[in-house]
Amino acid sequence: MSQSDLLGLAAGICTTIAFVPQVWMVWRSRSAKDISLGMYCIFVTGVVLWFVYGFVIHDLPVIVANGVTLLLAGAVLLMKLRFDKVARRLEAEMARLTANVADTFEADRAP
Protein backbone atom coordinates (compact mmCIF):
# COMPACT_ATOMS: atom_id res chain seq x y z
CA MET A 1 0.00 0.00 0.00
CA SER A 2 1.38 3.39 -0.99
CA GLN A 3 1.90 6.34 1.31
CA SER A 4 -0.90 8.21 -0.43
CA ASP A 5 -3.25 5.25 0.24
CA LEU A 6 -2.23 5.27 3.91
CA LEU A 7 -2.82 9.02 4.08
CA GLY A 8 -6.25 8.54 2.49
CA LEU A 9 -7.12 5.76 4.92
CA ALA A 10 -6.01 7.87 7.90
CA ALA A 11 -8.13 10.80 6.68
CA GLY A 12 -11.07 8.47 6.10
CA ILE A 13 -10.74 6.97 9.58
CA CYS A 14 -10.71 10.40 11.21
CA THR A 15 -13.71 11.75 9.32
CA THR A 16 -15.63 8.50 9.70
CA ILE A 17 -15.17 7.99 13.44
CA ALA A 18 -16.42 11.54 13.93
CA PHE A 19 -19.92 10.09 13.44
CA VAL A 20 -19.64 7.53 16.24
CA PRO A 21 -20.50 9.97 19.08
CA GLN A 22 -23.55 11.21 17.13
CA VAL A 23 -24.80 7.67 16.51
CA TRP A 24 -24.25 6.79 20.18
CA MET A 25 -26.01 9.91 21.49
CA VAL A 26 -29.06 9.49 19.24
CA TRP A 27 -29.31 5.79 20.09
CA ARG A 28 -28.91 6.36 23.83
CA SER A 29 -31.33 9.28 24.05
CA ARG A 30 -33.79 7.84 21.52
CA SER A 31 -34.14 11.39 20.20
CA ALA A 32 -33.00 13.03 17.00
CA LYS A 33 -35.20 16.11 17.19
CA ASP A 34 -32.26 18.51 16.91
CA ILE A 35 -30.85 16.82 13.81
CA SER A 36 -31.73 18.28 10.42
CA LEU A 37 -33.51 15.71 8.26
CA GLY A 38 -32.73 17.65 5.09
CA MET A 39 -29.02 17.85 5.91
CA TYR A 40 -28.76 14.13 6.63
CA CYS A 41 -30.68 13.19 3.46
CA ILE A 42 -28.36 15.30 1.33
CA PHE A 43 -25.27 14.10 3.21
CA VAL A 44 -26.15 10.41 2.90
CA THR A 45 -26.82 10.91 -0.82
CA GLY A 46 -23.38 12.51 -1.17
CA VAL A 47 -21.72 9.65 0.70
CA VAL A 48 -23.44 7.11 -1.56
CA LEU A 49 -22.07 8.99 -4.57
CA TRP A 50 -18.54 9.05 -3.08
CA PHE A 51 -18.84 5.32 -2.32
CA VAL A 52 -19.82 4.55 -5.93
CA TYR A 53 -17.09 6.88 -7.17
CA GLY A 54 -14.54 4.88 -5.14
CA PHE A 55 -15.55 1.74 -7.01
CA VAL A 56 -15.43 3.51 -10.35
CA ILE A 57 -11.85 4.69 -9.76
CA HIS A 58 -10.84 1.52 -7.85
CA ASP A 59 -9.72 3.50 -4.79
CA LEU A 60 -9.80 1.43 -1.60
CA PRO A 61 -9.50 4.35 0.86
CA VAL A 62 -12.47 6.12 -0.76
CA ILE A 63 -14.52 2.90 -0.77
CA VAL A 64 -13.76 1.94 2.84
CA ALA A 65 -14.11 5.40 4.36
CA ASN A 66 -17.37 6.15 2.59
CA GLY A 67 -18.75 2.66 3.15
CA VAL A 68 -18.31 2.98 6.91
CA THR A 69 -19.51 6.59 6.88
CA LEU A 70 -22.59 5.46 4.97
CA LEU A 71 -23.38 2.90 7.66
CA LEU A 72 -22.99 5.43 10.48
CA ALA A 73 -24.73 8.38 8.81
CA GLY A 74 -27.41 6.04 7.47
CA ALA A 75 -28.00 4.77 11.00
CA VAL A 76 -28.50 8.34 12.24
CA LEU A 77 -30.88 9.05 9.35
CA LEU A 78 -32.94 5.92 10.04
CA MET A 79 -33.06 6.68 13.77
CA LYS A 80 -34.12 10.26 12.95
CA LEU A 81 -37.01 8.96 10.86
CA ARG A 82 -38.05 6.35 13.42
CA PHE A 83 -37.70 8.41 16.59
CA ASP A 84 -39.43 11.45 15.06
CA LYS A 85 -42.36 9.22 14.07
CA VAL A 86 -42.59 7.84 17.60
CA ALA A 87 -42.35 11.36 19.06
CA ARG A 88 -45.17 12.59 16.82
CA ARG A 89 -47.36 9.67 17.93
CA LEU A 90 -46.63 10.39 21.60
CA GLU A 91 -47.38 14.09 21.17
CA ALA A 92 -50.70 13.28 19.48
CA GLU A 93 -51.61 10.85 22.28
CA MET A 94 -50.69 13.41 24.95
CA ALA A 95 -52.86 16.03 23.21
CA ARG A 96 -55.75 13.57 23.09
CA LEU A 97 -55.37 12.67 26.78
CA THR A 98 -55.09 16.33 27.76
CA ALA A 99 -58.27 17.11 25.85
CA ASN A 100 -60.04 14.19 27.57
CA VAL A 101 -58.95 15.40 30.99
CA ALA A 102 -60.10 18.93 30.18
CA ASP A 103 -63.46 17.60 28.97
CA THR A 104 -63.84 15.56 32.16
CA PHE A 105 -63.23 18.62 34.34
CA GLU A 106 -65.68 20.65 32.27
CA ALA A 107 -68.31 17.91 32.65
CA ASP A 108 -67.74 17.76 36.44
CA ARG A 109 -68.20 21.53 36.76
CA ALA A 110 -71.42 21.66 34.74
CA PRO A 111 -74.61 21.98 36.82
* 3-state secondary structure labels for all residues of the chain: CCHHHHHHHHHHHHHHHCCHHHHHHHHHHCCCCCCCHHHHHHHHHHHHHHHHHHHHCCCHHHHHHHHHHHHHHHHHHHHHHHHHHHHHHHHHHHHHHHHHHHHHHHHHHCC
Domain harbouring 67, CATH code: 1.20.1280.290
Quick check: is 109 in a domain? Answer: no
Please indicate whether residue 89 or residue 70 has the higher confidence score (pLDDT): 70
pLDDT of residue 107: 67
Predicted TM-score (pTM) of the model is 0.73
Quick check: is 95 in a domain? Answer: no
Quick check: is 74 in a domain? Answer: yes
Rounded CA-CA distance 41/53 in Å is: 18
What is the domain extent for residue 9? 3-81
Rounded CA-CA distance 97/103 in Å is: 10
Quick check: is 111 in a domain? Answer: no
Q: What is the pLDDT of residues 36-61, one digit of tens each?
A: 999 999 999 999 999 999 999 998 88
Quick check: is 40 in a domain? Answer: yes
Quick check: is 96 in a domain? Answer: no
| Number of domains comprising the chain | 1
Quick check: is 98 in a domain? Answer: no
